[in-house]
Each structure stands twice: as structure tokens, then as C-alpha cells.
Amino acid sequence: LFVSMEGAKHNWGSGPTEVKVEILNSPHDPIPGFTLAEADNLTTSGKHKVTWKGQGNLGRLTRKPVQLRFRIRNAKLNAFQFK
């Protein structure tokens, strides 16, 4: 999973940038290993691989229905893509 984002400029007085992604199962429960608490924070503008505790392999979720929950503070999400 990759995201393209733009962090807020510090001179905007907006505080630090935070982008995290959580993956939910079909009953809308966070999937262990992919929770917001485990998500690595993205803080700079650009394209980033999303990781949880340094791991970004989504292989065990292949062919399963999932939803994404984004926590975005002081940033703009431009796009996301599964690769």
C-alpha cells in the first residue's frame, strides 16, 4: 500500500504532520497487525510505503474484503494505491 501526501508547511502554524492507516475487516474491526496503534507515522510530503511496526506486507489480506481508515492531521492525502 502506497500513499501520496503533502504535509502542512510549518509556517502555517498547523503543528506536526501525521498520517496513519488502519485496515479493517468486513465487520469494521481493526485487523491485528494493521491497527492505528501499530501504524508507522508518515510525516513528510511525497510517496510513501505504508507500514505497521516496520512491516508492509499485505499478503495475508489477499482476496479478503477490507476497508482503510486514515488518520490525517495537518496533511493532504493525494492518492493511495495497492501494489
Query: Can you list the positions of beta strands (E) in the chain?
Result: 2-7, 18-24, 46-49, 67-73, 75-81
pTM confidence score: 0.86
> What is the arithmetic mean of pLDDT over 54-69?
95
Q: In terms of Cα–Cα distance, which of 35, 15, 13 is closest to 23? A: 35
pLDDT at residue 12 greater than cutoff 60: no
Mean pLDDT of the region 57-75: 94
pLDDT band of residue 9 (cuts 50, 70, 90) is low
